[in-house]
Amino acid sequence: MAEIKKGRRSANGFLVFVIGILAVLLSFLLRVPCRVPEWDVASRFPGLCSTQLGPGDLSVTPGTMLQGFFTGGPTGDQPIVVGMFTSVLGWMTTGLAQAFNLDLQANTVLDLTVVLTAMVWVVIIATVAGLSGKQPSDPVVMAFAPTVLLVGFTAWDLWAVMFMMLAVASYIRGSPGIAGLWIGLGATVDFLPVLVLVGILFMAARYRYIGDFFIALLSSVIFFAAVNGPFMVTEFDRWRAQFTDTLNAPVQNSTLWDVWNSVVAGRTGLEINTGSVETLSLVVVLLAVVAVLLVTVLAGKDPSIVQVLLLLLIVAVLFGREWSLLQSVWMVPLVVLARRSWVEFFIWQAVEIGYWATLNAPAGGWETQPLFAQGSWTPQDVLAVARFVALLWFLVVVIIDIQRGKRALLIGVHAKNM
């Protein structure tokens, strides 16, 4: 029996790997037009062709590897934990090329960062598959999520999503210290993985296991400091600049508050003072987080940290002061695990991509002309509102699921209550 289970596990692991690679290849094919100069797609569809991932450096030597190991990789513009991987991979690639007397050019091999990001996506799919139990459709649906294929492989966010999901899986399996490790590493890429720490705190408050939270907190601080420490000590000004850029990353003005003033206020007369948006956003987010805490503590049946984390992420996205399509990439694995309603999932994905298209497609009449002859609602207005309706839907139905105990046992409750 053990041999059968081992063989089945190996087959499932290979299937997950193949699915992940196919998803990456499909995403790559979507951007093939961007590489054809005659089509001029990059200038006509900048949102499709833009990317944060710089070209990999294939000239890393043993003497230069350590120079970028703690300072953002060979190119110096990557998150530190990503730079550690690209430094080692660049050094290995250079060494192999020298050993076989090969002359590598930038276009000779796939971009090192893209290769690594592909492996990151495979890890995320495998983690979701491990949490799904006997739900083989979960990782398949998630692997080909339209928003991930469209923008997921153009930024560093997938790295942070991977660390977030590894932290969730470690906590569910009863290892808050390991969860803290992943949270600390994820925080070096983006601060959203810290929400896992908040979720652990809320679960600890419900089950009176506050020690789990302090273990995860201490572990996350230690590993965050271990990765960032050398950079902070040797080049503090540069580290501070990157830290500030992470906090103030530019995004499009499509938050709930902007959409309210541009779409709803004119029809209701209830306009939000733009000067108080920052304060209002902070207050609403804090109140919503407290509401999530009460839902977690007062739930009639055992909630899952997946559900709690999804609520926290929805609150941050819905009432926050910034928006980008990448935020839906963060939500994809949690929505897949917490809801398992593919109709809901793909309607939400279609709305997100539709709205993104109205913002990034070439200027034209279809996104600005009234949708109805007798009205003033444009397709962009409708999709902007639909985005927030979808988020509110997930917020409400997940709270209802928690109160009913629905789906919680399918994705694991607190390890000490399993």
Check whether 413 has a pLDDT greater than 90.
Answer: no
Under the banding of pLDDT at 50, 70 and 90, the label for residue 415 is: very low
**How confident is the model at residue 152, as a pLDDT?**
85
pLDDT tens, position by position, 219-274: 999 988 888 777 777 766 766 766 666 555 544 456 777 777 767 666 666 667 66
Mean pLDDT of the chain: 77
Check whether 126 has a pLDDT greater than 80.
Answer: yes
| For residues 265-292, average pLDDT | 77
More confident residue, 109 or 404: 404
- The least confident of 161-165, 330-334, 362-366 is 362-366
Check whether 183 has a pLDDT greater than 90.
Answer: yes
Beta bridge partners, 323, equal 252
| For residues 302-307, average pLDDT | 89
Under the banding of pLDDT at 50, 70 and 90, the label for residue 69 is: low
Element of type H or E holding 253: none
Q: What is the phi/psi pair of residue 375, to 5°?
A: -125, 180
Under the banding of pLDDT at 50, 70 and 90, the label for residue 56 is: low
Question: Is the CB of residue 396 less than 8 Å from the CB of residue 84?
Answer: no
**How confident is the model at residue 111, as a pLDDT?**
60
Under the banding of pLDDT at 50, 70 and 90, the label for residue 134 is: low
Share of the chain above pLDDT 90, in %: 21
If one counts every other C-beta atom within 10 angstroms of the C-beta of residue 133, the result is: 12
**How confident is the model at residue 217, as a pLDDT?**
94
Cα–Cα distance measured from residue 405 to residue 396, given in angstroms and rounded to the nearest whole number: 14
- What distances in angstroms separate CA 46 from CA 29, 40, 43, 77, 357, one per listed residue? 16, 10, 5, 21, 11
Question: Is the CB of residue 86 less than 8 Å from the CB of residue 112?
Answer: yes
Cα–Cα distance measured from residue 33 to residue 49, given in angstroms and rounded to the nearest whole number: 9
**How confident is the model at residue 325, as a pLDDT?**
86
**How confident is the model at residue 374, as a pLDDT?**
47
Element of type H or E holding 57: none
**How confident is the model at residue 181, as a pLDDT?**
93
Beta bridge partners, 252, equal 323
Instruction: Please indicate, yes or no, whether the overall pTM of this predicted structure exceeds 0.75.
Output: yes
Check whether 43 has a pLDDT greater than 60.
Answer: yes
DSSP 261: I
Q: Which two tokens stand for residue 100?
A: 């076989």
Q: Which residues, in sequence order, are CB contacts of 170 under 8 Å at separation 6+?
A: 176, 178, 179, 181, 182
If one counts every other C-beta atom within 10 angstroms of the C-beta of residue 404, the result is: 12
| For residues 99-126, average pLDDT | 71
**How confident is the model at residue 416, as a pLDDT?**
39
In total, the chain counts a number of residues equal to: 418
DSSP-assigned letters across all residues of 152-186: GGGSTHHHHHHHHHHHHHHHHTT-HHHHHHHHHHH
| For residues 59-88, average pLDDT | 66
More confident residue, 418 or 198: 198
Output the CA angle 179-397-299, nearest 5 degrees.
60
Check whether 2 has a pLDDT greater than 50.
Answer: no
Cα–Cα distance measured from residue 342 to residue 92, given in angstroms and rounded to the nearest whole number: 42
| For residues 131-157, average pLDDT | 81
**How confident is the model at residue 61, as a pLDDT?**
58
